[in-house]
Structure 1
Amino acid sequence: MADGDDDDVDQEKMAAEWEQMAGGGDGDQDAMAAEWEAMADGDDDDDDMGGGQSTRILNQDEIDSLLGFDASTDSDGDKSGVRALINSAMVSYERLPMLEVVFDRLVRLMTTSLRNFTSDNVEVSLDNITAIRFGDYLNSIPLPAILSVFRAEQWDNYGLLTVDSSLIYSIVDVLLGGRRGTAAMRIEGRPYTTIERNLVERMVNVVLDDMEAAFEPLSKVDFNYDRIETNPRFATIARPANAAIVARLRVDMEDRGGRLELLLPYATLEPVREILLQMFMGEKFGRDSIWENHLATELWSTDVDIEAVLEEQVMTLGQVMNLKVGTTVLLNATPDAVVELRCGGVPMVAGRMGRVGQHIAIRVDHRLKRNGHPASTS
């Protein structure tokens, strides 16, 4: 029995030791976890306050927003980021206010001309006017399309007129007697026929005539048809990086119609840039014709003093200081000597001295330059 009691005591001591060791181990683990948290907090404080270093990484949405490639925004809308810096050199068409007036006049003229051309009810509307690089415009043309190159003779440069496929088939259908109420048949995968190209060429000539009439109040210019292309690469009339103005027109013929785009490079508009900068037709930039006429009338009625110089002599300062009352100064003038007339010290004319009644008169022989020499009579 004694041995059994000793074994029970030993087991109880061993269990107590185990409990004490387990309790001490939990305390060490808690202390170690607290130390790790303190170390982590210290690292964060060092990142925020020491040296300005940060471990934050941008996500994909923030990178796209920084570069300006946000898929949620429209490509024609406002750009931001790096793309905004790249496109900041583009010149806005709003700097040419008179150009909007010209295109509005073109829309009215085209509505009447295309009605006479197609014998149908045609409505032409201006969608928008934008500034774009020429290379970007060629890449944005939806194919198939017909590109008509024309030349502005007085401006010595070229322009581009793009007709989309919908308008091409609509014009062909109308001119060849297609019935109303049926959409134009569009056959994919084939080039335009000679008849279609000729009919579109006739419509392009009508539009070019209207463009001449639209620009006529500003500047006399002849837009001559040059050629028709179906491949944008062969219709290159400017460098890809050059800026251009694009006016997008919509042509509606009841249930048919399409788009027509007019492109004018800035180099083409350069000869009339000063005129297109005007805010309204006939602006003179501060010039007032009424004031000019009034000033000219007053100048003609202004009184001026004319001096008749008989003779001049060059004298030294000593001779001038020795002049006294009664001193005689001899002049080399003779009755036939030339007399010079001056206004405000400026030589005007020269002539001969004579007498008319009780007055001394001067008969003008010739005009004088500012240096006193006779002016040429040619």
Structure 2
Amino acid sequence: MSDDTDMLELPLGDWHRAKGARMVSFAGYAMPIQYEGIMAEHQWTRESAGLFDVSHMGQLILSGEGVAAALEKLVPGDISALKEGRMRYSLLLGADGGVLDDLMVTATPTGLYVVVNGAVKHQDIAYLRANLPAAIDINHLEDRALLALQGPKAVETISRVIPGVDQLYFMEADLFLWGEVPLWISRSGYTGEDGVEISVAANEVQALADALCAQPEVKPIGLGARDSMRLEAGLPLYGHDMDPSTDPVEGNASFAISKRRREEGGFNGADRILKALAEGPSRKLVGLSVEGKMPVREGAPIFAGEVQVGTVTSGGFAPSVGAPIAMGYVAADHNSIGTALEAEVRGKRVPLAVAAMPFIPHRYHRRGASK
């Protein structure tokens, strides 16, 4: 991240500044990193409801006959089985099975609604155009903004503003009307908390943000807290914890390879990926607990004795854990839970231990879960 200069503007850019946000460059956009402080915003969202502006993300509609089967050549998820209003996390794969992006796919009445990461959305669109049949239409919804309301009070709060949202369960989505404004709302997010993501016309987003922030449970929250929350939730950040050099198995995303796809294959890199599933990867993305107070950041080498066995890909202080935590790739013979390791930070060794992820429990509102 760098200072806010010559960056693209979000529809809510001036709104963020008026609320005291410190703006930084992220994914080519001027985005709010914090308002009153990352620690306070993190804790507020864990306890109440935080409003995040994620309008830098790419929102796409893929449509046309056979669109689900066509997309399945590029992702390892069972897209054809998605019922209308249901979502699936998946991975856009290169020809060799490397991860080009992680994304969310939702079945809608008009096609597949796909949300991709902002930093690579234009590369993703070009890749999809080059690798999907000409009959598949790709509509980039550049006239829409995207908000995420996250936290244990998020759904009860938005349901006062937009009745009926509380009827959704985790990974479900539907069309709602706010007055005469159509909103596509999913019960999903990137914090480990319950919450929703809201796709809204860019020219209506400020009024919606004002209506949500008028609720006493809601405050605007910046990128800094979004990052510390997703790290505690064990959620990877594309371009850091996963990239084209990693496959889904070593990226700790085997869950995204659906049962039918494991049996049938037929997706990019299937031979490599299914072999890694059967034999185990040579390295894997793992959680790391950090001894002491010194944060261990991206790029720090990880050692077992004098031998480097891995590299940190994300790290920082975790407010809800009360200590520094990290993620990183560690060689197979050193990545069992509890394995003692060290990271090198500014020439000093910092003790680590391989830890289970997530670092704090997810609090998703799943269909069929016990109350």
Query: Do Structure 1 and Structure 2 share a fold, with TM-score over 0.5?
Result: no
Q: Larger helix proportion, structure 1 or 2?
A: 1
TM-score by length of 2: 0.21
Q: What TM-score does the superposition give when structure 1 sets the normalisation length?
A: 0.21
Larger strand percent: 2
- Greater RCO (CA < 8 Å, at least 6 residues apart): 2
